[in-house]
């Protein structure tokens, strides 16, 4: 899920899994054939997207059996929405709303009380909801249960003081050294996360300027704890580093909550602890991410009511439980964090490792939510080369 939260710049061209037909260029158009099909773009960066598709298809048949769901291969980090209903990183909510890409859902949403206030902020504008939260995420520190020094840290600064730079530069660190983190893609987003924590603002004005030395220093420290070979390694599998940690490499893993799925698969769930730490010097500030479910503003009018039902289903407790829990007793949960409080409470009651994520992440802090501005991409392009140069020259 969390390569998911960094804008991914690849040279490969993505193609749609299915050909989308009958989509209107303006609201109000659309044929009866259109009405019988809803195109859906799910969030692709999850451990098991098939579980989402299977649960959605099964439950949708009980709601609109005559309307077919057609899944579209879409990536919010590459392109703007191209389906009737879609799930996207709230980082882009301000520009999507500004550009009029989202259909207004109204002044209220289903089960409003199930969502912490911080999960709703980016999908709400000028008295109207444009998206309903589905999942949340945050940077997570995984560490060995017996490592008491790491268990006491609350900030990136304290983590660096406890662990220090890598003792070796081998790809796989020893159990007594280093923090395994991913520096293979878009490190300007890591910097932006640190800057938000450092300034204590959701969208700091400074983020649109040049790279700040004090915020950059925290990124350098994480890079030093990781090492170049370990950080830059890229095999296309976002869970490789979690597997390394589960196999006994590194003192800690700096990743996202769903990395727990790989750790549990390797039998290390009971021996691993998690915590949320600030990426800067302030222990009470940390940044989270929210994924929203929305409807395209270009949807034909004769599909709107079905689309609203689909949005409600995609954010419902029954659907989220079915998608996140394993299909069998032998299976491993996805360990994604639902935005809904009632879903997280039930997951926590059913699984000891979900209990850790719920207690130490979901309800641990009053989260700032990662968001951008309409010119965010231009800022990324400006500071990206500077940040890479700083990391290489430290």
Residues 240-263 pLDDT 10s: 999 999 999 999 999 999 999 999
Q: Both tokens of residue 223? A: 């890079």
pLDDT score for 22: 34
Domain 140-285 has CATH 3.40.190.10: yes
Specify the higher pLDDT residue, 303 or 280.
Answer: 303
Asked whether the predicted pLDDT for residue 8 surpasses 50, the reply is no
Closest C-alpha to 324, from 246, 257, 247, 379: 257
Backbone angles phi, psi at 85, to 5 degrees: -125, 140
Q: Which of 2-6, 96-100, 272-276 has the lowest average pLDDT? A: 2-6
Q: pLDDT of 322-366, one tens digit each?
A: 999 998 888 999 999 999 999 999 999 999 999 999 999 998 866
Asked whether the predicted pLDDT for residue 14 surpasses 70, the reply is no
Asked whether the predicted pLDDT for residue 18 surpasses 70, the reply is no
Specify the higher pLDDT residue, 270 or 190.
Answer: 270
Q: How far apart are CA 308 and CA 207, in angstroms?
A: 35
CATH domain 3-137+288-363 topology: D-Maltodextrin-Binding Protein; domain 2 (3.40.190)
Q: pLDDT of 275-295, one tens digit each?
A: 998 888 878 777 889 999 999
Q: Both tokens of residue 298? A: 């270009």
Specify the higher pLDDT residue, 137 or 2.
Answer: 137
Q: Which of 202-206, 305-309, 310-314 has the lowest average pLDDT? A: 202-206
Domains 3-137+288-363 and 140-285 share a fold: yes
Q: Both tokens of residue 116? A: 């912490």
Average pLDDT over residues 179-202: 85
Chain center to CA of 216: 22
Average pLDDT over residues 296-305: 95
pLDDT score for 195: 84
pLDDT score for 12: 26
pTM, full prediction = 0.88
Domain residue ranges of the chain, discontinuous segments joined by +? 3-137+288-363, 140-285
pLDDT band at residue 374, thresholds of 50, 70 and 90? low
In the block, tokens 């009018």 appear at: 301
At 171, is the secondary structure helix, strand, or coil? coil
Closest C-alpha to 197, from 180, 213, 218, 166: 218
Q: Could you tell me how many residues make up the chain?
A: 394
Residues 6+ apart with CB under 8 A from 255: 2, 139, 140, 142, 180, 181, 182, 241, 242
Sign of the C-alpha dihedral computed for residues 26, 93, 130 and 203 taken in this order: negative
Query: Per DSSP, what are the bridge partners of residue 125?
Result: 128
pLDDT score for 7: 42
Q: What is the DSSP string of 346-369?
A: HHHHH-HHHHHHIIIIITTS--EE
Asked whether the predicted pLDDT for residue 72 surpasses 80, the reply is yes
């Amino acid at each position: 899920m969390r390569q998911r939260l960094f804008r991914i710049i690849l040279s490969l061209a993505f193609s749609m899994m299915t050909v989308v037909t009958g989509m209107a260029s303006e609201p109000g158009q659309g044929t009866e054939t259109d009405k019988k099909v809803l195109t859906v773009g799910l969030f692709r960066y999850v451990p098991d997207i098939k579980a989402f598709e299977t649960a959605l298809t099964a439950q949708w048949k009980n709601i609109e059996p005559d309307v077919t769901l057609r899944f579209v291969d879409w990536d919010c980090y590459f392109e703007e929405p191209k389906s009737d209903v879609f799930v996207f990183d709230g980082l882009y909510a301000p520009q999507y709303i500004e550009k009029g890409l989202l259909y207004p859902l109204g002044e209220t949403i289903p089960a409003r009380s199930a969502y912490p206030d911080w999960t709703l902020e980016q999908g709400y504008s000028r008295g109207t909801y444009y998206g309903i939260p589905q999942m949340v995420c945050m940077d997570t520190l995984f560490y060995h249960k017996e490592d008491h020094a790491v268990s006491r840290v609350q900030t990136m600064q304290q983590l660096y003081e406890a662990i220090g730079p890598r003792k070796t530069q081998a790809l796989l660190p020893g159990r007594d050294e280093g923090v395994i983190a991913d520096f293979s893609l878009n490190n300007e987003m890591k910097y932006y996360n640190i800057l938000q924590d450092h300034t204590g603002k959701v969208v700091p004005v400074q983020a649109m300027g040049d790279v700040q030395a004090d915020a950059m220093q925290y990124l350098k420290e994480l890079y030093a704890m990781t090492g170049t070979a370990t950080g830059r390694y890229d095999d296309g599998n976002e869970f490789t580093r979690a597997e390394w940690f589960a196999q006994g490499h590194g003192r800690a893993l700096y990743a996202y909550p769903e990395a727990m799925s790989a750790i549990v698969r390797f039998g290390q769930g009971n021996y691993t602890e998690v915590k949320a730490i600030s990426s800067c010097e302030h222990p009470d500030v940390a940044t989270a991410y929210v994924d929203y479910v929305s409807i395209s503003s270009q949807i034909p009018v004769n599909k709107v009511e079905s689309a609203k039902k689909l949005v409600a289903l995609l954010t419902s407790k029954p659907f989220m439980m079915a998608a996140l829990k394993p299909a069998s007793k032998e299976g491993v949960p996805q360990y994604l964090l639902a935005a809904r409080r009632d879903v997280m409470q039930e997951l926590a009651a059913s699984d000891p490792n979900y209990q850790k994520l719920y207690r130490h992440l979901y309800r641990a802090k009053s989260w700032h939510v990662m968001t951008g501005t309409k010119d965010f991409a231009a800022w990324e392009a400006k500071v990206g080369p500077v940040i890479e140069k700083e990391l290489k020259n430290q």
